[in-house]
Amino acid sequence: MPPIADSILILLLLTNFFILGTANIRSAIRGVALQGLLLGVLPFFVESQATVRLVLLVIATAAIKGAVIPGLLTKALRDVHIRHEVEPYLGFVPTLFLCAAGTALALLFADHLPLAAADRTGLFVPASLATLFSGFLGLTTRRKAISQVTGYLVLENGVYVFGLLLYQSMIVEVGVLLDLLVGIFVMGIVLNHIQREFSSLDTERLSRLRE
């Protein structure tokens, strides 16, 4: 595995900590955008030969993950007039501790998976597992709906990294990205309705809904 690919994956792991450790939702969205750009260029350092298919995939991934989806989230954030994740279900320090523990366990667990010898080299498997766990933490420990969406995006990034081990699955990954794009549009509509009805994006208040 090229050293540049491992360097990109290390940056990916660092952005996981940044996204989970910041209370500023706009900064978290920027962290997700950075992850998207890193994952967008990563296939260039995985494949030995640049093809038209590869170039189109890189451009589409970087554009959707690094620009379009973060842009939609930023617009939704601006529309609902919130800036910070004030009271998460789990504090930022414990979340970072769990993220560190999950990353360490991912590094240890990756060596015991029944993978081909070529797939055991590099950081692809541990980085994908750690990113999946980080996304799950963001999805389950945050109150604000937008923060939960960023957690979902990080989780999907972990799936994408694992998908890079099998280049043939990339077409499926592009389909997932398109589905995710549609999901973001729907989430924007939901966020606007929540803000209009409750004047808040605290998902705990949804328990007040009655038929």
Measure the CA–CA gap between 41 and 37, rounded to whole angstroms.
7
Q: What is the pLDDT of residues 88-109, one digit of tens each?
A: 888 899 999 999 999 999 988 8
In degrees, rounded to 5, the angle at the alpha carbon of residue 84 between the alpha carbons of residues 80 and 85 is: 105
Kindly state the tokens that stand for 42.
């990563």
**Does the residue 209 lie in any domain?**
no
* pLDDT at residue 22 greater than cutoff 80: yes
**Does the residue 128 lie in any domain?**
yes
Q: Which of 34-43, 118-127, 180-189 is least confident?
A: 180-189
Q: 176 is in which domain, residue-wise?
A: 3-113+124-204
CA distance from start to end of the chain: 55
**Does the residue 211 lie in any domain?**
no
**Does the residue 75 lie in any domain?**
yes
Q: Which residue has the tokens 């939702």?
A: 25
Q: Which of 24-33, 74-83, 97-106 is least confident?
A: 74-83
**Does the residue 169 lie in any domain?**
yes
Which pTM was predicted? 0.81
Q: Which residue has the tokens 């029944």?
A: 114
**Does the residue 119 lie in any domain?**
no
**Does the residue 200 lie in any domain?**
yes
Q: What is the pLDDT of residues 133-161, one digit of tens each?
A: 999 999 889 888 788 888 888 988 888 88
- CB 127 within 8 Å of CB 104: no
Measure the CA–CA gap between 30 and 18, rounded to whole angstroms.
10
Measure the CA–CA gap between 74 and 133, rounded to whole angstroms.
24
Query: Of 86, 111, 91, 122, which Cα lies nearest the Cα of 13?
Result: 122
Q: Domains in the chain: how many in total? A: 1
Quote the mean pLDDT of the chain: 79
**Does the residue 194 lie in any domain?**
yes
Q: What is the pLDDT of residues 160-178, one digit of tens each?
A: 888 777 655 555 555 566 5
Q: What is the pLDDT of residues 178-208, one digit of tens each?
A: 556 656 665 665 666 556 555 555 556 555 5
